[in-house]
Amino acid sequence: MSQDDRAVTDPDDAAGPAGRDAPAAETAPGPSAPVKTVTVKAKPRKAAKRKAKAKKAKPPVSTPDAPPKTASEPKTAAVAEAPSEVPIPASLQHMPAGLFGAGLGIAGFATAWRETLVAFELSPVPAIILAGIACGVFIALLALYAVKVLRHFDAVKAEFRHPIQGNFFAAATMTAMILTSNLVTTLPGIATVIWAVAAIANLTVTIVIISIWMSRDGHISHAAPVWFIPVVGNLIIPIVGAPLGYTDIGWMMFAVGLLFWVVLFTIVFYRLLFESRLEGPLRPSLFILIAPPSLCFIAYAVLNGGLVDGPAVMFLGLALFTLLILLPQVPSLLRLPFGLGWWSYTFPLAALSVACTLYADAVGGVVPAALALAAIALVTLAVTVVTVQTIRYILAGKVFLPTESPLPKP
């Protein structure tokens, strides 16, 4: 018997062509008669039927992870929906200190136009209007942040100790000194008081921030051009103080600003070369690199009574060179989404415009005059674009929403 042949004992399986009613086997009675067995090959269809019956007869296997369904259990399980995130409402608690950069940019822009109009002997009315707008914006920002200090002091302390946002507190004191320069000739007494308070406040912020730098665990990847704001901002003290008669204090603060410009420029430039590039919201702050040499030129010229000599021209040359190495970055910077960090374009370009105007007024000539006009046109374009975008940003209700200042991980 081959492997495909089977002994059939079930009558149904032994049915022949005549049907299932035919007997399976015939045997003769008697003890000596051997049992005659008829064997047939099992049909594939019937074998498949037997397998299907066996599968149906098997009970369902239950596991601890998947208990058997009961009659009361629904056939389809409802999928629980993930809870949606509740949007954070706008609050004055989230007002960033970086907004003081907007006040600083507008104040610098007004000063740039004032110097341009004076140098080219034009009407000072536009500069007066711009100075009034800058003063109104600055007062509004001070009032709003004062309310934040009273209601959300813990948030203010955390922001002050932040490696990025903490530097913008000095932008408020710098703005106050720049706006005071409009009162030097008309109201020197009031100008002296405001300048003294703002200068002391700026110096205090500088000392505290440097102390924080020296006491916390920092990393080179946290270095950013915004670090120039509190320390190099001391260069504005002689720009306003020298015309008020405080020349010695001006030279001292000029030395402080010059020293920290060189030190921080080395640190920041090393970070830009050998660490990951700045995060998107911080990339506009690259233009802050233009501000220190521009302010050095202005402060040096003012302390020298308007004289533009070799060292002054060196400072201006460094400022122009910094602008040239940043211009190739402009296309990629303009593709970034708008943020309040875009105000970093304005004040450095305004400081460069003032420096070019003072240089053109001191040396004369067509080329310096053209350079001054190009500089004021550039800062005007930058301030116009950033102001329009900021108005849209405010109307969209994003100013008082929480934002993060990214810090690259070491």
pLDDT on residue 20: 43
* Structure confidence at residue 85 as a pLDDT band (50, 70, 90): low
- Helix, strand, coil shares, percent, the chain, to 5: 65, 0, 30
358 CB contacts (<8 Å, ≥6 apart)?
A: 115, 119, 297, 298, 301, 306, 308
52 confidence band (pLDDT: 50, 70, 90): low
pLDDT grade, residue 48 (50/70/90)? low
pLDDT 10s digits, 301-318: 999 988 899 999 999 999
Look at residue 35 and tell me whether its pLDDT is greater than 60. Answer: no
**How would residue 213 be classed by pLDDT, with cut points 50, 70 and 90?**
confident
Tens-place pLDDT, residues 347-369: 999 999 999 999 999 998 999 99
Mean pLDDT of 28-46: 46
Q: Return d(Cα 360, Cα 352) in angstroms, integer.
A: 12
pLDDT at 94 over 50: yes
289 Cβ contact partners less than 8 Å away, ≥ 6 residues apart: 225, 228, 265, 268, 322, 326, 348
Q: Is the dihedral of CA 152, 158, 161, 167 positive or negative?
A: negative
> Is the pLDDT reported for residue 23 higher than 50?
no
Over residues 179-194, mean pLDDT? 93
pLDDT at 249: 95
As its CATH architecture, domain 92-395 has Alpha/alpha barrel (1.50)
* 102-148 pLDDT tens trace: 999 999 999 999 999 999 999 999 999 999 999 999 999 999 999 99
pLDDT at 51: 53
pLDDT confidence of residue 86? 54
- Name the 3-class secondary structure at 15: coil
pLDDT band for position 278 (50/70/90)? confident
Q: Is the pLDDT of residue 149 over 80?
A: yes
Please give the model's pTM, rounded to 2 decimal places.
0.76
- Which pLDDT band, with edges at 50, 70 and 90, does 13 fall under? very low
Q: Residue range 274-279: average pLDDT?
A: 85
Query: What is the model's pLDDT at position 45?
Result: 54
Distance CA 317, CA 144 (A): 39
295 or 164, greater pLDDT:
295
User: Which residue has 């309310």 as its token pair?
Assistant: 147
Mean pLDDT of all residues in 51-56? 52
40 has which bridge partners? 6
**377 or 56: whose pLDDT is higher?**
377
Give every CB contact of residue 29 below 8 A, 6+ residues apart in sequence.
Answer: none
Q: What per-residue confidence (pLDDT) applies to 53? A: 54
